[in-house]
Chains A and B, each alone.
Chain A
Amino acid sequence: MPPFQTLLDDHAGDVLGVLRGAVGRADAEDCFQETFLAALRAYPKLEDTSNLRGWLLTIAHRKAIDHHRANGRRPMPVAELAEIEVNDPEPGEGVWELVGALPPKQRAAVALRYGSDLPHTEIAAALGCSPEAARRSLHEGIKRLRKELA
Chain B
Amino acid sequence: MKNAMQRFADRADAEGLLDVAYTHVDSPFGPLLLAATPRGLVKLSFPQFGEEETLAELAERISPRVLEAPARLDEARRELDLYFAGKLTEFDLPLDWTLTDGFRKKAQQAINRIPYGKTRSYTEIARSAGNERAVRAAGTACGANPIPIVVPCHRVLRSGGALGGYGGGLPMKEALLELEGIL
Check if A2 is an interface residue, CB within 8 A of chain B. Answer: yes
Query: In the complex, which of the residues A2, A5, A8, A43 has the most CB atoms of chain B within 10 Å of its own CB atom?
Result: A5
Check if A94 is an interface residue, CB within 8 A of chain B. Answer: no
Once the chains bind, are B58 and A40 in contact (CB under 8 Å)?
no
Residues of B contacting A32 in the complex (Cβ-Cβ under 8 angstroms): 4, 8
- Residue in A4, A6, A33 whose beta carbon sits within 8 Å of that of B65 in the complex: A4
Check if A101 is an interface residue, CB within 8 A of chain B. Answer: no
Given contacts A2-B56, A3-B58, contact A43 B65 (CB under 8 A): yes
Which residues from 49 to 89 on chain B have a C-beta closer than 8 Å to any C-beta of chain A? 55-56, 58-60, 63-68
Once the chains bind, are B11 and A37 in contact (CB under 8 Å)?
yes
Residues of B contacting A18 in the complex (Cβ-Cβ under 8 angstroms): none
Given contacts A1-B59, A3-B66, A40-B65, contact A33 B7 (CB under 8 A): yes
Residues of A contacting B63 in the complex (Cβ-Cβ under 8 angstroms): 44
Once the chains bind, are B8 and A8 in contact (CB under 8 Å)?
yes
Q: A5–B5 Cα gap in the complex (Å)?
A: 10
Once the chains bind, are A40 and B1 in contact (CB under 8 Å)?
no
Smallest CB–CB gap between A8 and chain B, Å?
Answer: 6
Once the chains bind, are A2 and B1 in contact (CB under 8 Å)?
no
Check if A118 is an interface residue, CB within 8 A of chain B. Answer: no
Interface residues of B (CB under 8 A from A): 1, 4-5, 7-8, 11-12, 15, 17, 20, 22, 55-56, 58-60, 63-68
Check if A16 is an interface residue, CB within 8 A of chain B. Answer: yes
Nearest CB to that of B68 among chain A residues? Answer: A5
Which residues from 13 to 42 on chain A have a C-beta closer than 8 Å to any C-beta of chain B? 13, 16, 29, 32-33, 36-37, 40-41
Residues of B contacting A13 in the complex (Cβ-Cβ under 8 angstroms): 1
Q: A7–B3 Cα gap in the complex (Å)?
A: 16
Smallest CB–CB gap between B63 and chain A, Å?
Answer: 6
Chain A interface, >50% SS class: helix
Residues of B contacting A102 in the complex (Cβ-Cβ under 8 angstroms): none
Q: A44–B17 Cα gap in the complex (Å)?
A: 11
Once the chains bind, are A44 and B64 in contact (CB under 8 Å)?
yes
Residues of A contacting B64 in the complex (Cβ-Cβ under 8 angstroms): 1-4, 43-44
What are some 12 contacts across the A-B interface (CB < 8 A)? A1-B59, A2-B56, A2-B59, A4-B64, A4-B65, A5-B55, A5-B66, A8-B5, A8-B67, A32-B4, A32-B8, A43-B65
Rank and list the top 5 A-B pairs by shortest CB-CB distance, nearest first: A3-B66, A3-B59, A1-B64, A3-B55, A40-B17
Once the chains bind, are A12 and B17 in contact (CB under 8 Å)?
no
Given contacts A8-B67, A40-B17, A44-B63, contact A33 B4 (CB under 8 A): yes
Q: A37–B68 Cα gap in the complex (Å)?
A: 15
Q: A44–B55 Cα gap in the complex (Å)?
A: 15
Once the chains bind, are A37 and B55 in contact (CB under 8 Å)?
no
Q: A33–B64 Cα gap in the complex (Å)?
A: 18
Once the chains bind, are B11 and A3 in contact (CB under 8 Å)?
no
Smallest CB–CB gap between B89 and chain A, Å?
Answer: 34
